[in-house]
């Protein structure tokens, strides 16, 4: 039976085992701090747990379990997220991971979940054999063209906690009409940003950084961007704009680029809703996203995943 793992020595066993695979450039101590800090956030306390199959004092296989509220064409649904599936090397090949995944799905069904969602790091075939299907996810490379007139007049500042309710409201605008979109309460946006911010802060200096900025009008945040820099390049993790064209996001990215006009590379990767097209930006490449998003229906509900809105911040 699937078991929630909260015992500190079992959690340490999992961190020791997963560290070589998922260290993200952190020391073992920082890897532990990062995991523990995330577990203490408001969102994680309610929605995230480490689960596994345990025999005596040995963790045979473990995973992260997420619960998300979501919408499928405006209908509320519940999503079971499965992440960080890991079997210690000496236990591999005994079908422990499939046993855990099936147990998590049975448990999810009993708790009212409609679909299971995961991001595979080992390609699609393994999880396809467990009944998961791939969701096409298109990564854009966008460029901020040079503007001879310099930076546009837009008031950009660092986001503060007090902005989060407005940003959550803006973010939820993109769920309406989507075949599938997870709900993005303030606590989830905070969790996603903190996850990256902590990773940047705990890791080697200069390896990663994160900017979370808002554009303000009349003392209210009306648009925002989350931009990360790291080994994967520059990523527009998420953004939002009260203006349906996304023109303010375009102006924000122009003004960010103009901070360092000598920087030759003005490109970044992003996955954003199909309808979102800030007029200032050029899409220079569209390709399959490197992360493999996979889903399996649990309750029989079959959302139209081809019309998904799923920001990079929420990839787990
Ligand atoms: C993938 C993993 C969870 C499987 O766990 P397990 O308990 O050994 O489960 P199984 O017995 O079903 O695994 C054996 C199968 O995994 C496949 N597998 C293992 N690593 C794989 C990889 N990197 N890519 C593709 N398939 C892989 C094996 O080819 C084997 O396939 P088979 O069923 O055709 O023989 C385990 O190998 C693991 O922990 N790997 C490291 C962490 C990881 O990559 N996790 C997945 C994150 S999405």
What domains can be seen in the chain, in order of their start residue? 3-137+290-314 (3.40.630.30), 138-288 (3.40.630)
Q: 25 C-alpha vs ligand 1 centroid, how far in Å?
A: 23
**What residue ranges of the chain have pLDDT lower than 70?**
none
Q: Identify the pLDDT of residue 274.
A: 85
**Average of per-residue pLDDT values in the chain:** 95
Calpha distance 65→293 (Å, rounded): 16
Give the residue, by CA position, lying nearest to ligand 1 atom 21.
Answer: 122
Q: Identify the pLDDT of residue 265.
A: 87
Does the C-beta of 122 come closer than 6 Å to ligand 1?
yes
Q: 88 C-alpha vs ligand 1 centroid, how far in Å?
A: 10
Q: Identify the pLDDT of residue 1.
A: 77
Q: Identify the pLDDT of residue 211.
A: 96
Give the residue, by CA position, lying nearest to ligand 1 atom 20.
Answer: 122
Query: Which atom of ligand 1 lies closest to the CA of 96?
Result: 7
Other CB atoms within 10 A of residue 284 CB: 11
Give the residue, by CA position, lying nearest to ligand 1 atom 41.
Answer: 86
Does the C-beta of 92 come closer than 6 Å to ligand 1?
yes
How many distinct helices (H) and strands (E) make up the chain? 8, 16
Nearest to 312 by CA among 217, 228, 247, 203: 228
Calpha distance 244→39 (Å, rounded): 35
Query: Which atom of ligand 1 lies closest to the CA of 126?
Result: 26
Q: Identify the pLDDT of residue 36.
A: 95
Does the C-beta of 132 come closer than 6 Å to ligand 1?
no
Q: 289 C-alpha vs ligand 1 centroid, how far in Å?
A: 22
Q: 97 C-alpha vs ligand 1 centroid, how far in Å?
A: 8
Q: Identify the pLDDT of residue 126.
A: 98
Q: 226 C-alpha vs ligand 1 centroid, how far in Å?
A: 33
> What DSSP line would sit under 142-173, residue for residue?
EE----TT-S----EEE--GGGHHHHHHHHHH
Q: Identify the pLDDT of residue 260.
A: 83
């Amino acid at each position: 039976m699937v078991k929630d793992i909260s015992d500190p020595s079992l959690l340490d066993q999992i961190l020791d085992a997963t560290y070589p695979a998922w260290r993200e450039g952190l020391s073992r101590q920082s890897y532990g701090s990062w995991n523990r800090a995330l577990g203490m956030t408001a969102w994680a306390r309610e929605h995230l747990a480490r689960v596994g199959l345990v025999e005596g004092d040995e963790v045979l296989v473990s995973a992260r379990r997420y619960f998300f509220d979501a919408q499928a064409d405006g209908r509320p649904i519940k999503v079971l997220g499965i992440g960080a599936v890991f079997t210690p090397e000496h236990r591999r090949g005994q079908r422990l991971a499939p046993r855990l995944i099936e147990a998590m799905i049975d448990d999810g069904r009993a708790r009212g979940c409609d679909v299971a969602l995961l991001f595979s790091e080992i390609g699609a075939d393994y999880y396809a054999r467990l009944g998961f299907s791939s969701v096409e996810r298109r990564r854009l490379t966008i460029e901020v063209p040079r503007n001879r007139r310099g930076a546009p007049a837009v008031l950009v500042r660092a986001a503060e906690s007090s902005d989060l309710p407005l940003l959550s409201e803006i973010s939820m605008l993109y769920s309406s009409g989507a075949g599938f979109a997870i709900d993005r309460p303030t606590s989830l946006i905070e969790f996603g940003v903190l996850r990256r911010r902590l990773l940047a802060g705990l890791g080697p200096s200069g390896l990663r950084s994160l900017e979370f900025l808002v554009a303000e009008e009349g003392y209210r945040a009306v648009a925002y961007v989350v931009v990360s820099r790291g080994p994967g390049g520059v990523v527009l993790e998420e953004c939002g704009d009260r203006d349906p064209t996304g023109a303010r996001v375009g102006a924000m990215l122009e003004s960010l680029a103009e901070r360092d006009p000598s920087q030759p590379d003005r490109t970044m990767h992003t996955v954003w809703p199909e309808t979102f097209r800030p007029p200032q930006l050029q899409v220079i490449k569209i390709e399959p996203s490197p992360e493999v998003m996979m889903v399996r229906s649990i309750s029989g509900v079959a959302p139209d995943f081809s019309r998904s809105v799923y920001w990079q911040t929420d990839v787990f």
